[in-house]
Amino acid sequence: MGDSTDIFGNEPADDETPPSAAELEAAGQAGLFGAAPATPPATDALPWATGPAEVATPASVEAPAPVAIPAPVPPPAPAPGQAKQPYRVLARKYRPRTFAELIGQDAMVQTLANAIRRDRLAHAFLMTGVRGVGKTSTARLIAKALNCIGPDGNGGPTIDPCGQCEPCVAIAEGRHIDVIEMDAASHTGVDDVREIIEAVRYAAVSARYKIYIIDEVHMLSRNAFNALLKTLEEPPAHVKFLFATTESDKLPVTVMSSCQRFDLRRISTPLLAQHFAGICVKEAVVADDEALAMIAAAAEGSVRDGLSILDQAIAHADLDGDGRVSAGQVRDMLGLADKSVQRRLFAALLAGEGPALLELVAAQFALGVEPQALLRGAMELTHRVTVTRIGGGSMADAASAEERDAIEGWAGALSAGQLHRLWQLLLKGFDEVRTAPDPLVAAQMALLRVMHASDLPDPGQLVKKLEDIASRAPMAGAEAGVGQGGASAPTSAAPAASLDWRAVVDQVDRSGQMMLASTMRMQVRVVELRHGVLRFSQPPGFREDITADLRAGLAKATGERWQVERCDDAGAPTLVELEQSAKAAGEAAIRAAPLVELTLAAFPGAELLDEEQDAPRQAGNRNWSRQR
Ligand SMILES: [Zn+2]
């Protein structure tokens, strides 16, 4: 610690102790249950970090092996919510003791077995993977494998350490003098590494190999890495380094390249469930398959997280009386991983049940479920439904029969287009919730938006239907005629006369009197029109007497004298009124077309728009669908 010259880019505050891996994990696990961690769990108590520190100091490294001393196993610090558990936490109790017990990492074990058999062991190993997949356990297993001497004391390195010899026992208990565990999260500085480098020069005290297990190695400072690198490149033959990290991308390339790398996989949900079932048998705990499947799903590939949840589930089951871990209890306990709530939420989204949707969101929030988790749950369902729809994926990891039925039902009912749109909307909502000042409100808005969109037809289908309509609509509009004109337009009285009138107006227009022609189209309701005679009225709102203008204009256009007279008779609609009513009739015909009727029903509040016409004045309602 305290290496103030460190300039490791990823660690701005070198002198401050960064949160330890255990603390980080405690925070993560606590987040799962919506409770603040009171104390970090020390399920991975590393001797140097939290256990009997003497074991790892250089002084004691050179001291004689304290073989006779009983194992100074530090009492495990209680994990959150488990302070009163009398038994060891499951994650600790069922830490794998052999490679056979290490689940889900077959490829790595095979590679390692081959290396041991051929005596081609690297001098440094790097274990990467998400938390709780068994990196530290693997490191200890490798330490055992390398140092096991067999029950008779004559064995060599083996992929199948005996678990009985002194090195095996001591390593399992974390007290072997030649196996030094260090948590880089709390020992980031160059001084810590110097201690290692100094000690490396000395031979192993009692074991075949001196083994350094450095957890969360990416947290070492740059200087610490540089100091370590020299040793790493030319290590003494009796030294092995086992590094573990959750973030291998933060490691210097030089370090990576000098290690044999093992990427530990997330453990599949079915395998986890199976593993937990086996542990329940050993613990004499009765647990529903569905409950274990839910715990496995919530564990997200981490054995340790899953076992923490199982611990809590067993504690809850004991409290409730019958000691049986039931699906209902686990559902209540987890909140987050409650598949049935997720399905209800998804169903409410699709059904457009706004009040039910908001109620669910509020109830889940009250239970401590993060708003973001609700969107994530809906996204997971969307993904599963989509995969199911194309016939891919298996239903093997469905937590329950209800889940299987629901997903298959949705897969049959939703189109691919709808599912992809659903995904896009949820993803957008997920991002919004993450950055919003009030995640709950953002989640409500995002889900309501999805809900409003979910009943829209698939754009692909819609386009097809509209194309069908487009091929029929013009005819329908033409046939509809002017008879069913808009309410404000007068009924057509004399189409023949108006046709003549149209010709007269065109003639005026062509004579260069465009203003007058415009006035004639707009203001003249023809009452009587024959050669040289025009009687007309004006629509309401036009008061200016245009008689003289008309007389002059008509004379100029036709070269004849016109008798023009204004009267109060109704007359035929003006040309403009005729156009308007024709258009209204066309729209009415289009609206009446069955598919358009359906479309308008599907887009509540939608309007028919001319292409040239501006966007609707009351933009904002439902307008998002046009922006897509
Ligand atoms: Zn052994």
| Residue scoring higher pLDDT (415 or 14) | 415
| Strand duo 525-530 + 533-537: pairing | antiparallel
| Residue scoring higher pLDDT (121 or 427) | 427
List the structure tokens of 497.
Answer: 């006369």
In order of start, what are the domains of the chain with their CATH numbers?
A: 89-263 (3.40.50.300), 269-334 (1.10.8.60), 339-454 (1.20.272.10), 495-572 (3.30.300)
Cα of 304 to ligand 1 centre, how many Å? Answer: 25
Banded pLDDT at 608 (limits 50, 70, 90): low
| Residue scoring higher pLDDT (544 or 493) | 544
pLDDT at residue 591 tops 90: no
What integer pLDDT is reported at residue 237 of this predicted model? 87
Residue 560 phi/psi, 5° resolution? -125, 165
What distance in Å separates the CA atoms of residue 250 and residue 231, rounded to the nearest whole number?
20
What distance in Å separates the CA atoms of residue 501 and residue 597, rounded to the nearest whole number?
37
Cα of 128 to ligand 1 centre, how many Å? Answer: 25
| Residue scoring higher pLDDT (332 or 2) | 332
Provide, rounded to the nearest whole percent, the portion of the chain with pLDDT above 90.
13
Cα of 244 to ligand 1 centre, how many Å? Answer: 23
What integer pLDDT is reported at residue 622 of this predicted model? 33
Cα of 412 to ligand 1 centre, how many Å? Answer: 56
Cα of 365 to ligand 1 centre, how many Å? Answer: 51
**pTM greater than the 0.95 cutoff:** no
Average pLDDT over residues 441-457: 81
Cα of 96 to ligand 1 centre, how many Å? Answer: 14
Cα of 203 to ligand 1 centre, how many Å? Answer: 20
Provide, rounded to the nearest whole percent, the portion of the chain with pLDDT above 70.
70
Banded pLDDT at 470 (limits 50, 70, 90): low
Cα of 175 to ligand 1 centre, how many Å? Answer: 14
For 92-121, give the DSSP string: HHT--SSGGGSTT-HHHHHHHHHHHHTT--
| Backbone region of residue 104 per phi and psi (left: phi > 0; alpha: psi in -120 to 50; beta: other values) | left
Q: What b/e sequence results for 161-193 when a residue is b if at least 16 CB atoms lie within 10 Å of its CB, and e otherwise?
A: bbeebbbbebbbebbbbbbbbbbbbbbbbbebb
With both helix axes pointing from N to C terminus, report the angle between 416-435 and 371-389 in degrees, rounded to the nearest 10: 160
Range name among 112-121, 175-184, 454-463 with the lowest pLDDT average: 454-463
Range name among 16-20, 47-51, 389-393, 550-554 with the lowest pLDDT average: 47-51
Cβ-defined contacts of 53-58 (< 8 Å, 24+): 55/175, 55/177, 55/180, 56/180, 56/181, 56/182, 57/195, 58/195, 58/198, 58/199
Average pLDDT over residues 607-624: 44
What distance in Å separates the CA atoms of residue 80 and residue 152, rounded to the nearest whole number?
42
pLDDT at residue 454 tops 60: no
pLDDT in tens, 39-77: 444 434 333 433 333 333 343 434 444 444 444 444 444
Cα of 148 to ligand 1 centre, how many Å? Answer: 4
Banded pLDDT at 144 (limits 50, 70, 90): very high
Residue 120 phi/psi, 5° resolution? -120, 55
Cα of 165 to ligand 1 centre, how many Å? Answer: 4
Range name among 56-60, 154-158, 170-174 with the lowest pLDDT average: 56-60
pLDDT in tens, 85-121: 456 788 888 888 888 888 888 888 888 889 888 888 8
| Residue scoring higher pLDDT (6 or 378) | 378
pLDDT in tens, 195-244: 888 888 888 788 889 999 999 898 888 888 888 888 888 888 889 999 99
What integer pLDDT is reported at residue 395 of this predicted model? 59
What integer pLDDT is reported at residue 27 of this predicted model? 40
What distance in Å separates the CA atoms of residue 127 and residue 436, rounded to the nearest whole number?
37
Q: 408: exposed, middle or buried (C-beta count within 10 Å: 0-12, 13-18, 19+)?
A: middle
What integer pLDDT is reported at residue 588 of this predicted model? 76
Cα of 107 to ligand 1 centre, how many Å? Answer: 23
Mean pLDDT of all residues belonging to the chain: 75
| Residue scoring higher pLDDT (177 or 340) | 177
Cα of 93 to ligand 1 centre, how many Å? Answer: 19
What integer pLDDT is reported at residue 456 of this predicted model? 57
What integer pLDDT is reported at residue 471 of this predicted model? 66
| Residue scoring higher pLDDT (474 or 555) | 555
What integer pLDDT is reported at residue 231 of this predicted model? 85
Average pLDDT over residues 615-624: 36
Cα of 206 to ligand 1 centre, how many Å? Answer: 13
| Residue scoring higher pLDDT (388 or 64) | 388
Average pLDDT over residues 321-326: 80
Cα of 27 to ligand 1 centre, how many Å? Answer: 36
What distance in Å separates the CA atoms of residue 607 and residue 586, rounded to the nearest whole number?
14
Cα of 61 to ligand 1 centre, how many Å? Answer: 21
Cα of 374 to ligand 1 centre, how many Å? Answer: 48
Cα of 147 to ligand 1 centre, how many Å? Answer: 7
- Tokens 């309509």 appear where? 469
Cα of 167 to ligand 1 centre, how many Å? Answer: 6
Residue type, 260: Q
Cα of 75 to ligand 1 centre, how many Å? Answer: 25
Range name among 435-444, 471-480, 564-573, 615-624 with the lowest pLDDT average: 615-624
Cα of 502 to ligand 1 centre, how many Å? Answer: 108
pLDDT at residue 606 tops 90: no
Cα of 152 to ligand 1 centre, how many Å? Answer: 9
What distance in Å separates the CA atoms of residue 358 and residue 448, rounded to the nearest whole number?
8
pLDDT at residue 543 tops 70: yes
Question: Is residue 172 a contact partner of residue 166, using CB atoms and an 8 Å limit?
Answer: no
pLDDT at residue 138 tops 60: yes
List the structure tokens of 419.
Answer: 């599912």
Question: Is residue 264 a contact partner of residue 133, using CB atoms and an 8 Å limit?
Answer: yes
List the structure tokens of 247.
Answer: 């973030």
Banded pLDDT at 22 (limits 50, 70, 90): very low
Cα of 177 to ligand 1 centre, how many Å? Answer: 15
What distance in Å separates the CA atoms of residue 56 and residue 395, rounded to the nearest whole number?
49
Cα of 166 to ligand 1 centre, how many Å? Answer: 7
What integer pLDDT is reported at residue 280 of this predicted model? 92
Q: Is the dihedral of CA 243, 247, 250, 254 positive or negative?
A: positive
Among 78, 156, 72, residue whose Cα is nearest residue 119: 156
pLDDT in tens, 325-343: 888 788 777 765 466 778 8
What integer pLDDT is reported at residue 276 of this predicted model? 93
What integer pLDDT is reported at residue 126 of this predicted model? 92
Range name among 389-393, 445-449, 489-493 with the lowest pLDDT average: 489-493
